[in-house]
Amino acid sequence: FSFEGFYEIFARIPAETGGVMSMSANLCREVGFAEARDIELFFEYLTGGAAPPNRPAIRFSVSDDKPYFSVKPDPARPVKRCALFYAYGGAARDRNWERKEAFMSADGEYIANIDCYDIPDPLYVYGAAYYEDGFSLCTRVLKKTAAELNAPVKRLVPSHLLYAPGGGRDSFTTVDSRVLIHYKDNVERVSGPLGIEGVRAATGKLAAFKPGDPRFSPLRGSAIQINAYSAAPAGLVVGLRDGKGVVYYSKETPLCGGEIWQKAALDAAAFKTAQKTALVDFSDIKALWFEAPAGVVVSSIIWT
């Protein structure tokens, strides 16, 4: 299940039922990984075991002219840690969810700074509490604009850097994995030539939703540059999806194989639909993914 689809179902449950939602520690837009213990505890509860903790609460505050979000977990069980997940605007299928670890404050809340920007798009935030026994529960999703929060804002200056070496896994997910439940993270960090770190998909296609994030919006006339590596000769095709759901594909870029990183620089006209309609520019692109053999590693993605 995708996170958005899962949450859409959960949101239909009446609040008075006291329903709670559990999500994986590494979001990756897929539900399943790290949930085995939650399922075990749920069945224990149904057969007369201890009730799960109450849903954690989420709240917003301002301190030292900075916006903060905090998670208040139910202390019925020992808490291991808490994290906050957030995204800026976009339709559910387009949101670029990111994670930030929260730090415990004196009153038992877990708090983290999440920047607000001078944009009309709403900020989506939810928190997750992870318990020592393996159980995890999430807060409701908070949807507010910076103006509605009356939050101090930063001026938004979009970054040209979608991903850099050593950037970890949180910028990526996988699509079309055709695996319902994952027993390990589906995005792998690997070291490539010259010790430069990159990421690859364990199954399915490596994908990123940063193009739809206003913090990473491309300027008109931009091209996209990708740095990739494959130990064996391979072909790399880049797929794109715009806000209307139209899909574009690039021509195949050959990777020669061996201990070398290769750059692929592609302008908008290099991408075409199945009907051969060329992309005009990248301004409405919301998602990208890589059609490539499993061994292909990506170390950077840049708007140029």
Other C-beta atoms closer than 10 Å to the C-beta of 108 total 11
pTM of the model: 0.85
Torsion of CA 156, 161, 163, 167, to 10 degrees: -70
298 beta partners? 199, 228
CA 270/CA 213 separation, integer angstroms = 22
List C-alpha distances in Å: 179 to 1, 29, 240, 299.
Answer: 9, 13, 22, 25
Render each residue's pLDDT in the chain as its tens digit; 304 residues.
Answer: 455 566 667 777 777 776 666 655 444 444 455 556 666 777 777 787 777 788 899 999 999 999 999 999 999 889 999 999 999 988 878 888 888 999 999 888 999 999 999 999 999 999 989 888 878 888 888 999 999 999 999 999 999 999 998 887 778 888 775 554 444 567 889 999 999 999 998 877 889 999 999 999 898 889 999 999 999 999 999 999 999 999 999 989 999 998 999 999 999 999 999 999 999 999 999 999 998 887 899 999 999 9
> Are the CB atoms for 220 and 105 separated by under 8 Å?
no
Placement of tokens 């807060």 in the chain: 139
